[in-house]
Amino acid sequence: MEIKPKTSHDPATDLHMADAYMRWQLLAAEEVVGKQGLVTVLRENGLEKFIDHYPPEEFNFNSKITAGEYSALSAALMTFYGRAGRGMTLRIGRLSCKMAIEKQGALFNVAGSLALKLLPVGQQLKMGLENMQSGFRKLGEGIGEDYELAVEDRGETIAYIAKACPMCAGKQADAAICNIFTGNLEEGARWLTGKEHQVVETSCRAKGDPACVWEVSKAAKAE
C-alpha cells in the first residue's frame, strides 16, 4: 500500500483535534512501537514538535493540533512499519480508546453507556456510537467545526460515518487507511457489549469515497 498526499488541498486537514486525542495516540504508539521507534517516525515525518512534548490531557485546542497532523502520524506509522503497520495501528487504536474511556466519562455519557448494557446488542452499539459522536460534536461546536458525523442501522451492522475524517485527512491511497479508528471502534464495541465484534472500514476518503464508513457487526465473533 502506498499512502501519498492528495494533489489538491483537503479542507479536512484544517480541522482541529483536542489536545487529549493526540496525547493518547502518541502514548499508545509509544507503548506499541517503543520510545525510540516513535521518535524516529516523528522525526522523519515532520512531526518533531511532538518529540518529548506530548500535548496535555485536556479537552481543549490550545496546542492548535490539526487533523492534518493527526493523519500524518497515523499514515507515518503504517508506512514506516510496512506490512506490520496495520496490526500495529489497530493495537494503537484499541489502546488509545481504553485511555479515552477512562478519562472522558462526562463528555461521552459513560453513565448512559453503562445503562445501554441492558439493551439488545444492536441498540447498545447504535446508541453507544451516537453517544461517541455527540461527544465529538460538543467539542467541535465549541470552536465552530463539524466532522459531519452520522450513525446508521444497516440491518446486520451499525455504520459509523465521518464525512470529514481526521484519520486520513489530506491523504490518498488505494485501500482504506484509518486503522487507528478501526481499533477505537473495536475496543469501544467490546467495552459496550463485553464481546468482540468485527469492524470493517468499507469506505475511505483516501480512496476517493465521499466519507469514511465503518460497519460494526451486531453479531459477536465466535469465541
The per-residue pLDDT for 105 is 60
Question: Residue 114: what pLDDT?
Answer: 62
DSSP assignment of 95-110 equals HHHHHHHHH-TTTTTH
**Which pLDDT score, from 0 to 100, does residue 112 have?**
55
157 sits in which H/E element: strand 157-162
At how many degrees (to 10) do helices 179-193 and 67-80 cross? 100
Tens digits of pLDDT across the chain (223 residues): 889 999 999 999 999 999 999 999 999 999 999 999 999 999 999 999 999 999 999 989 999 999 999 999 999 999 999 889 999 999 999 999 999 887 766 555 555 556 666 788 898 899 889 988 988 898 899 999 998 999 999 999 999 999 999 999 999 999 999 999 999 999 999 988 889 999 999 999 999 999 999 999 999 987 6
The per-residue pLDDT for 92 is 97
The pLDDT score that the predictor gives to residue 113 is 59
Per-residue model confidence (pLDDT) at position 192: 84
Helix or strand (DSSP H, E) at 36: helix 35-44
pTM equals 0.93
Nine-digit cell string for 31: 507503548
Concatenated DSSP letters of 89-150:
HHHHHHHHHHHHHHH-TTTTTHHHHHHHTTS-HHHHHHHHHHHHHHHHHHHHHTTT----EE
pLDDT at residue 128 in the model: 87
So what's the pLDDT on residue 120? 86
